[in-house]
A and B are shown apart, each in its own frame.
Chain A
Amino acid sequence: DIQMTQSPSSLSASVGDRVTITCRASQTINTYLNWYQQKPGRAPKVLIYTASTLQTGVPSRFSGSGSGTDFTLTISSLQPEDFATYYCQQSYFTPYTFGQGTKLEIK
């Protein structure tokens, strides 16, 4: 199985900050990398798919980049509603696998 490693596991930041979360795959996955946001008690919500494509309706402050094994999710200016847990997910091979998550908390 492809292992996905996110860093950091948790992050404290303030409204207005620029934040970057990284995700590394244990083998190349081309650009088959998706990012999800999950709030407590809620299902995940897709933000970015195929590494850099913004899902319809997602604010443009979210962006993704990378290919091969290394990927990033950037939030350009944190808003109060962005405090959540973020997961990367590879869809290059089944079984699909997720990173362990990055919990973004208010500083």
Chain B
Amino acid sequence: QVQLQESGPGLVKPSQTLSLTCTVSDDSIDINSYYWSWFRQPSGRGLEWIGRFYPGGSTNYNTSLKSRLTISADPSKNQFSLSLSSVTAADTAVYYCAREVPSAYYFDFWGQGTLVTVSS
């Protein structure tokens, strides 16, 4: 069974860069079978799709975050990463990574989520 695990700092200062990594087990991010996405969810609120990585190196970003966002991957470690610059308190949220099934475009496996707080 595929497993995803987010990791990274739980506290980031305002104006700095938030960096998270998703490690995937029992699947390869470099095979043209699935896509890999990031989401976030502020406390008590709904879900927001951040962006995704395709095998081969392509990405799609949410237009609301595009100017601050980079999603990349390290196939040798079977990881993909999120980098969000110039953070503010509005970026405080639980961040999730997930696997997307192409053709049907739904998310079948998710990480457990990691809380990132932006505060000085």
Which of A's residues lie within 8 Å of B, judged by CB? Answer: 1, 32, 34, 36, 38, 42-46, 49-50, 53, 55, 87, 89, 91, 94-101
A34 to B98, CA, bound (A): 14
Cβ contact within 8 Å between A89 and B47: yes
> Which 3 residue pairs of A and B lie closest in terms of their CB atoms, listed nearest first?
A91-B105, A43-B110, A49-B106
Cβ contact within 8 Å between A53 and B104: yes
B74 interface residue per 8 A CB criterion? no
Cβ contact within 8 Å between B46 and A98: yes
Majority secondary structure of chain B interface residues (helix, strand, loop or mixed): strand
Residues 97-120 of B at the A interface (beta carbon under 8 Å): 98, 101, 104-108, 110-113
B96 interface residue per 8 A CB criterion? yes
- Contact partners of A94 in chain B: CB under 8 A: 49, 52, 60, 62
A18 to B96, CA, bound (A): 31
Which of B's residues lie within 8 Å of A, judged by CB? Answer: 37, 46-49, 52, 60-64, 96, 98, 101, 104-108, 110-113
Q: Which residue of B lies closest to A90 (CB)?
A: B105
Q: Which residue of A lies closest to B64 (CB)?
A: A95
- Contact partners of A100 in chain B: CB under 8 A: 46
- Contact partners of A36 in chain B: CB under 8 A: 47, 107
Cβ contact within 8 Å between B113 and A101: no
Contacts A43-B96, A43-B113: A95 and B63 contacting too (C-beta < 8 A)? yes
- Contact partners of B96 in chain A: CB under 8 A: 43-44
- 10 A-B contacts, Cβ less than 8 Å apart? A32-B105, A34-B105, A34-B106, A34-B107, A94-B62, A95-B49, A95-B63, A96-B49, A98-B46, A99-B46
**Most A Cβ at <10 Å: residue of B64, B105, B110, B111:** B105
